[in-house]
Amino acid sequence: MSEWDDYAADWDSPDTRLYADRAFASWQRSVAPFAPDLAQCRVLDFGCGTGLLSETFAPLCKGIVAIDTSPQMIAVLEKKIETAGIANIRPLATAIDPASIRVHDCLAGGFDIVLASSVWSFLPDYPATLADLASLLEPGGIFTQWDWESDMPAKRIADAMDASGLEKIAIETAFGLEGGDETMPVIMGTARRS
């Protein structure tokens, strides 16, 4: 059981939908122009939650493996997939580490795109997990992450990308979300596997 299980039933709030929509729009604006053709791409959505980003990418890509450590988040995604008749999302409740990569066949074969939205500040070892994800990218594959800028400074992202062997493309403020009387900036980091 994951600590996130308790949030699953109510996760798809207007704020989380807005975050996912803005993340997708920032990807379309900043990454799509140089990314592989999505229609031919195999995508990994790491820390997918209830799959809001996966649902947005699904009509545009070949297939998505959507993973999260919360079985309840994955259960919500499975129900949404069944209800909507989405055939190209494969949900999986697991972590990313060498053992899970060996065990789950759907993680074999390499990915053209890896997405990670608002997940890194919750992980115990960001550089090690990023290295594991980098190992799943095909040569030339693109990695993109989004996080609250206050939790994930640009230098930390750049250092982890360097340590994982990824070629940094850009680290930039992608968008902001209004919260109370302030706007909370979201940072986007994009890199390529050589």
Q: Is 163 exposed, middle or buried (0-12, 13-18, 19+ CB in 10 A)?
A: middle
Give the domain ranges of the chain: 15-177
Q: Residue 59 corresponds to which tokens in the numbers above? A: 């009509």
pLDDT at residue number 1: 56
pLDDT at residue number 59: 98
pLDDT, tens digit, for every residue of 8-53?
A: 777 888 899 999 999 999 999 999 999 999 999 999 999 999 999 9
Cβ-Cβ contacts under 8 Å for 15 (sequence gap 6 or more): 177
Does domain 15-177 fall under CATH 3.40.50.150? My reply is yes
**Separation CA 110–CA 51 (nearest Å):** 20
